[in-house]
Structure 1
Amino acid sequence: MKAAFCDRPGAALDIREVPVPSPSAGQYLVRVEACGICHSDLHLQLGEEPLPDDVFPLCLGHEGVGRIVAGGGPLPIGTRVALPWLYSADPASDPTLRGKENYCPHQKARGIDAPGAFAEYALLETEFAVEIPDAIATDAAGPLLCAGLTAWSALGRCDIQPGQRLLIVGAGGLGQYAISIGLARGLAVAVVDPDPRKRREALRQGAGIAIGPDDPAAIRAWGGADVVVNFAPTATVWELITGVVNPLSQIVLVALVQEPVPLSAMWLINGGHRVMGSSVGTRADLRDYLHFAAEHPPSVAIDVLPFAQVNQGLERLAAGDVTGRLVLRFEVSVEPSSGGLSEE
């Protein structure tokens, strides 16, 4: 099969021929049909994550969609399944036992601890297999598995009531999925983003207002924010967030920000605010969100590229030349067989 590998931090991906993996007990072999390109893939490829040298070469990709072609489990051959970020977790860990395996300290991530879905075939643990509803198109399904799921689970951390005001900070792919989820759940939606193109896209998708980060007065005039989800990877937005929230606000931090922010205990106490972190989502979150998305399709633009253009896709992402989400499409010309590979 063909698979794309990052041989060292900063290197372009190399597409090469490697053996099709063989599923062990408790695994499916999945023929990949499409895979989204996520900013996390770009961060890993550029070496912006502190990974040890021995994890390379990396086969990236964690927004994969494909069909089961081999392996034993409850799902039949041909079932369309998800190949998301969360590959496996320790079944005995406290977070996993609580149904929060995305916080398991021993979890494995697809594209880091296990081979990713930038490949024509991939393995899937049967206990982590989630079926994709027929109503969702394959190309649209990929980004739901990370970008959409992350937005879904972040809002799932909050006690949301219809009519509340949701502020989304950062209107890239994740923010756009949050717009669709918020609107479908009856929230009024405002967006903050420095990019005029993304603000226009947010308005097209139904946001009530979309402003730059230097105009907090517009958010206060709009009515303030009851719920805030931050997708902007910078600590500079914290002052804006704390300056526009209403009493009893719920603030969910998703973007990976290393710098500390000033948190006033008196502000927290007097306002009764809740500040939470949120990371990707669980298997149950993914199942629930896929069914929700089937009923409420997001209007995020999907730009499809052939697998051979994976490096061009990463370059576009690095240049900010993506309005919605990028998805790779695979054209597999071989099928696995007991004797290796045979032509179709």
Structure 2
Amino acid sequence: MIRAFGYAAQDATTPLAPFTFERREPRESDVEIDILYCGVCHSDLHTVRSEWSGTLYPCLPGHEIVGRVTRVGSGVQKFKPGDLVGVGCIVDSCRTCNSCRDGLEQYCEVGFTGTYNGPEQGTGANTYGGYSNVIVVDASFVLRIPDGLDPAAAAPLLCAGITTYSPLRRWRVQRGQKVGIVGLGGLGHMAVKIARAMGAHVVLFTTSPNKREDALALGAHEVVVSRDKEAMAAQRNSFDFILDTVAAPHDLDSYLVLLARDGAMVLVGAPAEPHPATTVFNLIMKRRQLAGSLIGGIAETQEMLDFCAQNGITAEIEMIPIQSINQAYERMLRSDVKYRFVIDMASLKQEAAA
């Protein structure tokens, strides 16, 4: 076994703190990765604090991992020591159901194995994530980080990037379309960049007028303050696609009426409480769609990384040491980050060596 260390929560009310544990030795199909950077996702906070059901403790979060390969199993041909690689939200799936065979492991009908908070396929054991120094992952769930991407700023692509890329790709967003992005946070800022790179006319919806300058700098063509009724009314029946990234309950009808005939609105934000009920007539009168989307499969995630490399897209990040993770959680709750925290794991290794 490999002695590993990281930061974990022992229950829903205690802060993350140093934690020593064991990783498996690499099996024939495994890759061992020295973790360099790990993004901090809002779902980490939800899980650690048991705001979503099913948290397993100790909980060691982190599913936006970038690192260097240190060892590979005898059956691994795809990677070699020294390669810069990533691990996203999934480290295993059943691989035999219809979704897995279609390359949609995120919809595995048995249930995928999360990078943290397991449970592992077959054993039901807990998994530990990227707030740590090392991880061992089956090569089928390891991603190549393309040349040209800054490793730290690429880490959030492995969740925030694919969460927004997947629905934009699935609904075939393309040049000449009008696309709305609701919310300018960790997900929303990636959605603006990706939709702009796909050639769409991008409109950012926000409740905060002070986000206008940032939104335009990130690639939005227009910014609409959603509390401005006249500005919202001027956008009615004009959008091909709207991606809603907000993780708090809000009125979906105010955005559904902005869709043109056959337009689609897709939810990727995951609030702890339900949204208010939607008026069905806002859907049926224009044959509009209201849908949801969950991250992406492994092949699509690699496609997203390659797309981002080709278009010079990374996340806007604030680097932090692991010792500041609890303060970072409190700042996330106040939306006090532009736009994603990334942990420099050198800080963890220095602590372990002290």
Instruction: Give TM-score scaled by structure 1 length.
Output: 0.90
Alpha carbons of structure 1 residues 111 and 216: separation in structure 2 relative to 1, 3 Å? farther
In the other structure, the counterpart of 1:27 is: 30
> Do residues 325 (structure 1) and 328 (structure 2) align?
no
Superposition map of 1:181-196 within 5 A: 181-196=194-209
1:90, distance to aligned residue in structure 2 (A): 0.6
Gaps of 5+ in 1: 335-342
Report the residue type matching 1:284 in the other structure.
Answer: A
> Do residues 294 (structure 1) and 309 (structure 2) align?
yes
Cα deviations across residues 281-311 of structure 1 (Å, max 9, x unaligned)? 1111111110111111236421111223222
1:81, distance to aligned residue in structure 2 (A): 1.1
Task: Give, in whole Å, the separation in 2 of the partners of 1:319 and 1:264.
Answer: 31
> Do residues 149 (structure 1) and 153 (structure 2) align?
no
Task: Give, in whole Å, the separation in 2 of the partners of 1:26 and 1:325.
Answer: 32
Q: Secondary structure at 1:25's aligned position in 2? A: coil
Alpha carbons of structure 1 residues 79 and 207: separation in structure 2 relative to 1, 3 Å? same
In the other structure, the counterpart of 2:141 is: 128
1:166, distance to aligned residue in structure 2 (A): 0.7
Alpha carbons of structure 1 residues 260 and 16: separation in structure 2 relative to 1, 3 Å? closer
**Which segment is superposed worse, 152-161 or 55-64?**
152-161
In the other structure, the counterpart of 1:7 is: 10
Q: Secondary structure at 1:62's aligned position in 2? A: coil
CA contact (8 A) 1:42 1:318 kept: no
Cα deviations across residues 289-340 of structure 1 (Å, max 9, x unaligned)? 1011111123642111122322222222122211211100112897xxxxxx
In the other structure, the counterpart of 1:215 is: 228
CA contact (8 A) 1:166 1:227 kept: yes
Report the residue type matching 1:249 in the other structure.
Answer: G
1:269, distance to aligned residue in structure 2 (A): 3.2
Report the residue type matching 2:303 in the other structure.
Answer: D
CA contact (8 A) 1:171 1:199 kept: no
In the other structure, the counterpart of 2:123 is: none
> Do residues 232 (structure 1) and 233 (structure 2) align?
no
Report the residue type matching 2:346 in the other structure.
Answer: E
Q: Secondary structure at 1:236's aligned position in 2? A: coil
CA contact (8 A) 1:65 1:80 kept: yes
**Which segment is superposed worse, 82-91 or 12-21?**
12-21
**Which segment is superposed worse, 267-276 or 93-102?**
267-276
**Which segment is superposed worse, 244-253 or 306-315?**
306-315
In the other structure, the counterpart of 2:70 is: 69
2:21 to 15, 18, 28: 18
**Which segment is superposed worse, 1-10 or 285-294?**
1-10
> Do residues 161 (structure 1) and 150 (structure 2) align?
no
Task: Give, in whole Å, the separation in 2 of the partners of 1:56 and 1:202.
Answer: 38
CA contact (8 A) 1:37 1:328 kept: yes
Cα deviations across residues 42-73 of structure 1 (Å, max 9, x unaligned)? 11122211125xx2001110001011111311
In the other structure, the counterpart of 1:56 is: 57
Alpha carbons of structure 1 residues 86 and 38: separation in structure 2 relative to 1, 3 Å? same
1:163, distance to aligned residue in structure 2 (A): 1.4
Task: Give, in whole Å, the separation in 1 of the partners of 2:211 and 2:275.
Answer: 27
CA contact (8 A) 1:30 1:122 kept: yes
Alpha carbons of structure 1 residues 117 and 254: separation in structure 2 relative to 1, 3 Å? same
Report the residue type matching 1:297 in the other structure.
Answer: G
Task: Give, in whole Å, the separation in 2 of the partners of 1:299 and 1:332.
Answer: 22
CA contact (8 A) 1:167 1:192 kept: yes
Alpha carbons of structure 1 residues 262 and 47: separation in structure 2 relative to 1, 3 Å? closer
Task: Give, in whole Å, the separation in 1 of the partners of 2:315 and 2:217.
Answer: 10
**Which segment is superposed worse, 313-322 or 147-156?**
313-322
Q: Secondary structure at 2:234's aligned position in 1? A: helix
1:100, distance to aligned residue in structure 2 (A): 1.2
Gaps of 5+ in 2: 119-126
Q: RMSD in angstroms over aligned alpha carbons?
A: 2.1
1:37 to 20, 37, 40: 40
1:265, distance to aligned residue in structure 2 (A): 4.5
Cα deviations across residues 248-295 of structure 1 (Å, max 9, x unaligned)? 111111111442554445443331212221001111111111011111
1:229, distance to aligned residue in structure 2 (A): 0.5
CA contact (8 A) 1:216 1:244 kept: no
Report the residue type matching 1:230 in the other structure.
Answer: D
CA contact (8 A) 2:99 2:108 kept: yes
CA contact (8 A) 2:146 2:305 kept: yes
CA contact (8 A) 2:179 2:240 kept: yes
> Do residues 204 (structure 1) and 217 (structure 2) align?
yes
In the other structure, the counterpart of 1:337 is: none
Task: Give, in whole Å, the separation in 2 of the partners of 1:86 and 1:199.
Answer: 34
> Do residues 280 (structure 1) and 295 (structure 2) align?
yes
In the other structure, the counterpart of 1:97 is: 101
Report the residue type matching 2:69 in the other structure.
Answer: I
Instruction: Give TM-score scaled by structure 2 length.
Output: 0.88
1:222, distance to aligned residue in structure 2 (A): 4.8
Q: Secondary structure at 1:271's aligned position in 2? A: coil
> Do residues 247 (structure 1) and 248 (structure 2) align?
no
Task: Give, in whole Å, the separation in 2 of the partners of 1:238 and 1:266.
Answer: 13
1:198, distance to aligned residue in structure 2 (A): 3.3
